Amino acid sequence: MSKHQPSKNIPEQQKTTRSSYDRLNRWFEKNETRWLLMVLALGLIAGILSFDIKPSVDGDDTSYVLSAMRIVHTGQLPVGFRTPGYPIVLALFVWLFGTNLIILKATSLLSFLGILVSLFYVFRKRLQPIVLSSLMLLVAINPLMLKYSHQTFSEILFTLVLIWTVHFLLLAGEKESLRFALIAAVMTMASFYIRIAGATIAGVAVLFFAYRKEWKQLGIYVLFCAALYSPMKIYEWSSGSAAFGQASVLMLKNPYNTSEGMETLSGFFDRFINNIFNHANYQIPTALGLPMSPELGFANGQLFPSAPAFFGVLLSVIVIIGCVVPVMRKPKSMQSWIGFFVLTYIAFISVALQNIYATPRMLLPIIPFLILGLFEGFRVLGNRWARMKETGAVSLHAKRLVVIAALGLTAANLFGTKESIDENYPVLKANLSGNTFAGFTEDWTNYLRASLWIKSQLPIQSTGIVCRKPELFLLTAGNYNVYGTYKIDQTDPDTIIAHWKSLKMTHLLYDNFQWSSTLRRYVQPVAQKYPQLFEMIHQEGSAYPCYVFSLNYSVLPGAAGSRKDFR
């Protein structure tokens, strides 16, 4: 809801009600600095109470830390799979403070607080005070934002840069300024180098400038975006390899089984439909802070897979209405720009990401814009209820619906945040008291203890480890030569062994993960044909034990040497 002038000739009852609304609006305007400080304090307290000092078992966040360490220690830029921006930022803190996981995680908390401040300054003159205040509060207590506010994932920093990118793009149009178009190009490419999804805002910006026939701004913007992208193209030409390997992975039908081949056109269409349904059922309402059942996140290809999904779909439809209607009715407005960006972003990740990657985390960067879309959707519906068609006006019904939506979302977010804090706080206390394994399940505890045993018993220079979740192993044990089994790409035992030998693998860290059997299925053909190859040298734990096996190549038929040849 943008700022607007009150309309005249309205019923007396509506004047009274609207006066109450306006008085509240004026209160937020007069106390905007106090409200900002209050929201910052609330976000900081919630962030600290939600803080997890351990590495996430996802592994992706740890890979960013490992990339940052390689930048500092070897000067190797992390190109080839992910974009290099976030590891470069983390590398600065690794260089200053060493690999201190708490400090690295705290950078995300600072970025989270930066998001709250940025929302205030970017939308201060563009939104009604009551809407802006509600937006800041809802972001500060959003369970998904708080979940990643202490982890070394790139989404929080990406969100911060994204907000300022939107700001300078809007300024470039509002002021018809070439300078702001140039700054917007720099911010756009900064967002792109942090996450490849930043390309979506570039596409929206090009259409934005072209629609407004601002050709000079468009030319400057495209020119500088291309110039800032050129280092990656130079790298590709000089190295002969793709700068961003993510694109090739996303073209696969199954990233964990390359034998299924590349995705087809009909496959991309099915992927898009399944992801859209998944977003409507689960991802969007969860990103907004509603307590949706996680089971809905696995209902690929189904709209309304269960009765509870109806409410989530209804809310998602309201968000879509709030994004689509401004684009159709007032295409040069700020809300239109934001709505078009939200639709483009969701469409991009729905096509690009396989259904197994569909998680609310992918929507985290657009949570502030989803909230604005929801408010706008309720405003549109309220105006239709009052039979008003003006996109800038706000009827009494619209005000009521927006207030109800803000209060309802606040209650849901507070409930979800309290639950996560209640769950995390005892673990945090235990971790700070010295129990580093508190919060891990038994299978993970045994895996990490076995990793520490390897660190203390096996020389790093001559040891090669086959394992699942190599990122967690490397962060725990050190910079060993590691082969990570992310997928099963071979089933012939002799081919697998030849691959291990070529990589100079000397040991197998055999997990007992209850969430994955990838390593066990990968090793099984070898164990069935050559059981004598594996010599157990350590067992960690009794429930869900983790084993360390030495790979004794000398027992293989026709072996000319022993495993010592690979040390």
530 or 238: whose pLDDT is higher?
530
- Percent with pLDDT over 70 in the chain: 89
Is it the case that residue 387 has pLDDT exceeding 80? no
Confidence class for position 293, pLDDT limits 50, 70, 90: confident
Q: pLDDT (tens digit, 9 = 90+) per residue, 96-146? A: 999 999 999 999 999 999 999 999 999 999 999 999 999 999 999 999 999
Cα gap 471→451, rounded to integer Å: 11
Residues 443, 513: contact at Cβ < 8 Å?
yes
Q: How far is CA 278 from CA 25, 144, 147, 212, 354, in A?
A: 36, 17, 21, 34, 12
Mean pLDDT of 431-460: 95
Q: How far is CA 348 from CA 160, 249, 316, 345, 365, in A?
A: 20, 15, 17, 5, 13
- Burial (Cβ within 10 Å: 0-12, 13-18, ≥19) of residue 77: middle
Q: pLDDT (tens digit, 9 = 90+) per residue, 333-382? A: 899 999 999 999 999 999 888 777 778 899 999 999 999 999 999 988 88
Cα gap 528→514, rounded to integer Å: 22
Residues 155, 195: contact at Cβ < 8 Å?
yes
CB atoms within 10 A of CB 5: 7
- Both structure tokens of 187: 């911010």
538 has which bridge partners?
548
Is it the case that residue 256 has pLDDT exceeding 70? no
Cα gap 203→344, rounded to integer Å: 9
Q: pLDDT (tens digit, 9 = 90+) per residue, 451-491? A: 999 999 999 999 999 999 999 999 999 999 999 998 888 88
Long-range pairs for 180-185 at CB < 8 Å and ≥24 separation?
Answer: 181/209, 181/216, 181/217, 181/218, 181/220, 181/221, 182/220, 182/221, 182/224, 184/221, 185/220, 185/221, 185/222, 185/223, 185/224, 185/225, 185/228
End-to-end CA distance of the chain: 66
Mean pLDDT of 519-540: 95
CB atoms within 10 A of CB 13: 9
Strand arrangement of the beta sheet that strand 534-540 belongs to? 481-484, 464-467, 507-510, 546-551, 534-540
Is it the case that residue 45 has pLDDT exceeding 80? yes
Residue 83's SS3 state is coil
Structure confidence at residue 299 (pLDDT): 58
Is it the case that residue 551 has pLDDT exceeding 60? yes
Picking from 82-86, 160-164, 230-234, 411-415, which range would have the lowest pLDDT averaged per residue? Answer: 230-234
Q: How far is CA 289 from CA 360, 392, 504, in A?
A: 10, 27, 48
Residues 173, 211: contact at Cβ < 8 Å?
no
Mean pLDDT of 27-55: 95
Mean pLDDT of 437-454: 96
Structure confidence at residue 239 (pLDDT): 64
What is the total residue count of the chain? 567
CA proximity to 473, closest of 511, 431, 502: 511
Cα gap 259→490, rounded to integer Å: 9
Picking from 49-58, 73-82, 270-279, which range would have the lowest pLDDT averaged per residue? Answer: 73-82
Mean pLDDT of 6-31: 62
Structure confidence at residue 252 (pLDDT): 74
Q: Hey, CA dihedral for 163, 103, 246, 139, is it positive or negative?
A: negative
Residues 132, 283: contact at Cβ < 8 Å?
no
Cα gap 407→166, rounded to integer Å: 27
Q: Hey, CA dihedral for 336, 338, 341, 343, is it positive or negative?
A: negative
- Burial (Cβ within 10 Å: 0-12, 13-18, ≥19) of residue 52: middle
Cα gap 274→266, rounded to integer Å: 12
Q: Quick one: which H or E segment has residue 105? A: helix 101-123
Is it the case that residue 160 has pLDDT exceeding 50? yes
Is it the case that residue 76 has pLDDT exceeding 80? no
- Burial (Cβ within 10 Å: 0-12, 13-18, ≥19) of residue 185: buried
Cα gap 223→182, rounded to integer Å: 9
Structure confidence at residue 257 (pLDDT): 67
Q: Quick one: which H or E segment has residue 137? A: helix 129-140
Picking from 390-394, 514-518, 533-537, which range would have the lowest pLDDT averaged per residue? Answer: 390-394
- Both structure tokens of 222: 């495209």
Structure confidence at residue 310 (pLDDT): 85
CA proximity to 563, closest of 454, 465, 455: 465
| Entry pTM | 0.89
Is it the case that residue 420 has pLDDT exceeding 90? yes
- Burial (Cβ within 10 Å: 0-12, 13-18, ≥19) of residue 265: exposed
Is it the case that residue 565 has pLDDT exceeding 80? no
Is it the case that residue 251 has pLDDT exceeding 60? yes
CA proximity to 151, closest of 57, 28, 268: 57
